[in-house]
């Protein structure tokens, strides 16, 4: 696993979507609720045979600088493992 992630650190390397064969899937999202900084979306997925999934997705609006500072604090130990 460590060798796999080492390749990801090489300059110029990125992840891209691989090909998916099969039916077309269409996903719709509708904003269902706003509560201060919280947004709730209703998500529905359909394939060629009809509805295949339904659920809710929640997002929270946060201060970008504070979020990134917290993310870096949590990621630093992982960076040390991957070295």
Q: Hey, what domains does the chain have and what are their CATH numbers?
A: 20-82 (3.10.129.10)
The structure tokens listed for 15 are 């992840």
Element (H, E) at 71: helix 64-82
pLDDT tens sequence across 22-47: 889 999 999 999 999 999 999 999 99
**Does the reported pTM lie above 0.85?**
no
* DSSP classification of residue 23: -
Distance CA 34, CA 60 (A): 10
Average pLDDT, the chain: 87
**Given the structure tokens 């999934």, which residue do they identify?**
53
Q: Is the model's pLDDT at 83 over the cut of 90? A: no
Strand ordering across the sheet containing 38-47: 26-35, 38-47, 50-60
């Amino acid at each position: 696993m460590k060798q796999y992630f080492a390749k990801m650190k090489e300059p110029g390397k990125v992840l891209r979507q691989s090909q998916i064969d099969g039916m077309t899937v269409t996903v719709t999202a509708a904003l269902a609720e706003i509560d201060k900084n919280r947004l709730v979306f209703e998500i529905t997925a359909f394939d060629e045979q009809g509805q295949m999934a339904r659920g809710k997705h929640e997002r929270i609006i946060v201060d970008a600088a504070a979020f990134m500072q917290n993310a870096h604090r949590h990621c630093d130990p992982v960076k040390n493992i991957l070295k």
